[in-house]
Structure 1
Amino acid sequence: MPTSIRTCVACRATREKSELVRMVAVEGHAVIDEQSSMKGRGAYICRRAECVEVVAQNKGRLSRAFRKETEAPDADLFRKRLGLFKSSKQS
């Protein structure tokens, strides 16, 4: 079975679809599509804090990917949803 390859809208790296997180635009805001089941044009992003920062600071990347004006996501919220916060508990 052929592998689905997608490109991260932030760093432009190509990866397997399963390694990236899909986002869709809902009422002008980018939201994470956890099951990859939401309707509409999707954009993909790496599970890296750096990529989340790039997208949050440059809403043009998402607007271009979605082909419509889209608000940049809140970086803190996205990092939290993707599990990118480092635990404050050290072992």
Structure 2
Amino acid sequence: MPEFIFFKKGNKTTALEKRDVQGARLLLEQGYDKLFEEIIAPDGHHALARLADIKKEEILTERAFMTWPAFVAAVFIIMLVVGYLFGN
């Protein structure tokens, strides 16, 4: 299976076989930015789908790490309130 690299310009992402150096140069000249991800897939459509899955997982992981401190703080506050109410 071929290895694909990705280029992005605005909201448009394009997959290109890694060995297509001329196509990559053309996209760079058109203002596309090369992404660092490289994926092995049967075709460009599957490569783009896999990239979308990876990006979605990155967002979910980031949100999970961002919400954990808020959850811990909420539990701590609840424990303080319960301790205060039943401690007196």
- TM-score past 0.5 threshold: no
Of Structure 1 and Structure 2, which has the larger fraction of its residues in helix?
2
TM value normalised by structure 1: 0.30
TM value normalised by structure 2: 0.31
